[in-house]
Amino acid sequence: MRIIHLPVKRSKKFEATLQLLGGRDASMFPTLREALTFCAILGYKERRKLPLDPHVGTEDIAGAQYQLNEAVDVVFALALADSGSSDILRPEREKDCIQTYEEYANGGLELVQSWIERHADLDVQDSVWRGLNSIGVRPPRTNDRETDIIEPEF
């Protein structure tokens, strides 16, 4: 597993949305890192790559937060999928990998923010699920009743 040495940035423009998704008081994701990773994958799925606006400002998440968890794999997987070349995975291109992740996360955050605004009468989780449903993502099936057991005949 690779380690990220550089910080990961997030736009202050979507900070309120990110805080609704992840962190101490959020119901969807226990950490901001997990919420940002969800948004990066969503951004990639919807081909929403939005550069961070330096005029709005950014917040950093220490690269150490992306060690020993699945998020580091997502950073490099998104960069590989976006570039289409394994050259992006060279150690000297870490900054490019992180930038790709940041831009997809920013695009995903913009989309989630639009869902929250569109469904302002609902809580955040319901707004996100409705938004996901609108792009063809369905919630996992739940099977509340026990699976029928068919007894064999001897």
Quote the pLDDT of residue 25. Answer: 82
Instruction: Report the distance separating Cα 125 and Cα 128, nearest Å.
Output: 5
Higher pLDDT, 98 or 62: 98
Average pLDDT, the chain: 90
Whether pLDDT at 147 is above 70 = no
6 burial via Cβ count (<10 Å: 0-12, 13-18, 19+) = middle
Residues with Cβ within 8 Å of residue 69, at least 6 apart in sequence: 33
Q: Is a pLDDT exceeding 70 seen at residue 142?
A: no
Q: Is the pLDDT of residue 139 over 80?
A: no
Give alpha helix (H) positions in 23-142. Answer: 32-45, 70-83, 94-118, 124-134
Per-residue pLDDT for 28 more than 60?
yes
Global pTM reads 0.87
pLDDT given at position 143: 63
Exposure string of 8-26, with b = 16+ CB inside 10 Å and e = fewer, is: bbbbebbbebbebbbbeeb
Contacts of 101 (CB under 8 A, 6+ apart): 8, 40, 74, 75, 78, 79
100: its two tokens: 């790709």
List of residues 6+ apart from 76 with CB closer than 8 A? 2, 89, 97
